[in-house]
Structure 1
Amino acid sequence: MNIAIIAHDVKKELMTQFCIAYAGILSQHNLCATGTTGKVVSEATGLKIQSFLSGDQGGEQQIASRVACNEIDLLLMFGDPLNPKPMEPIEADLLRLCNVHNVPVATNIATAEALIHSLARGDLDWRDIVNPKKQDAAESAEEAAEE
């Protein structure tokens, strides 16, 4: 699964602690994040994370474009609900794209824990079926292994 991680500044520590707690599960998947979040989480956990630009420099749009191409299977996005930033329209667009492409989203720790346990149980494996690029890649890998 491809998991995207975004955290506002006041939620970076919470996201880091979450990723430390679930590093065993997260390490089995492909992770990407906005720049600063990816750096902070990777340094704290040792997880391999593809980092995009910082959120305020376009990182959220980069993740949104991957969602639009059906390349993200799960979004963990911890925002600051008490002090919304001017980027809110970008985040609204990202959430809209997740709804269009049926990408599960966690915007708080409670939902993130529910989704990470679902991921570990295989409850989100249906994403492999609805993502044609993954099917094509899996078929190509099987064909290469047979040769």
Structure 2
Amino acid sequence: MTRKRIALVAHDARKADLIAWIGANIRLLDGHLYWATGTTGQKVRSAHPQLEVTPLKSGPLGGDQQIGAMIAEGRIDLLVFFVDPMTAQPHDVDVKALTRLATLYNIPMACNEATADMVVSSPLFAGGYTPRAADFNGYETRQV
């Protein structure tokens, strides 16, 4: 098994859903490395102590940016971000930046349980799949 480096984020109204999803998929998730924003990380560690979870700052206090930086540095293989689409988030710009970086750097991102299920049940999750690396040469060499 190739150990994946997985970022876990959940809005307050979705934290219990993320914990339940992890429990339902613990066999597939055990043995990987995790980073999680503040309270989400604490709750995951408490509910699933067998997982190696490194807690970061709370999302509104910079945790989203910490994960974004890890994505930009190539240190995250999967973002699982259970989003609450029904509640306005005071740090919505941080959330958008995080999802933008996952898209830009071509890493899988699951924003709900159905997508997360599809990702972890795929044979690509257990295998050595490496997404095509993002190529920014055109952007970096553009004339300004």
State the TM-score bracket (shorter-chain normalisation): 0.7 to 0.9
Alignment partner, residue 38 of structure 2: 35
Unaligned runs of 5+ residues in structure 2 are 135-144
Matching of residue 25 in structure 1 with residue 15 in structure 2: no
Q: 1:64 to 1:89 in 2, by over 3 A?
A: same
Residues 7-55 of structure 1, C-alpha deviation per residue, up to 9 Å, x if partnerless? 0111000000011111122122111100110110111112220110111
Runs of 4 or more consecutive aligned structure 1 residues displaced over 6 Å after TM superposition: none
Is 1:50 matched with 2:54? Answer: yes
What's the % identity of the aligned pairs? Answer: 35
Deviations 1:73-132 (A, max 9, x none): 1000011100120211111111111111111000011101001112xx23563228859x
Following the alignment from structure 2 to structure 1, what is the Cα–Cα distance between the partners of residues 72 and 98? 9
Q: Contact (CA 8 Å) 2:34, 2:54: kept in 1 or not?
A: yes
- 1:34 maps to a residue whose letter is T
1:30 maps to amino acid: L
TM-score by length of 2: 0.83
- Which residue does 1:60 correspond to in 2? 64
* SS of the residue 1:5 aligns to: strand
Higher helix share: 1
Distance change (3 Å), C-alpha of 1:2 and 1:96: same
What is the CA RMSD across the aligned residues, in angstroms?
1.8
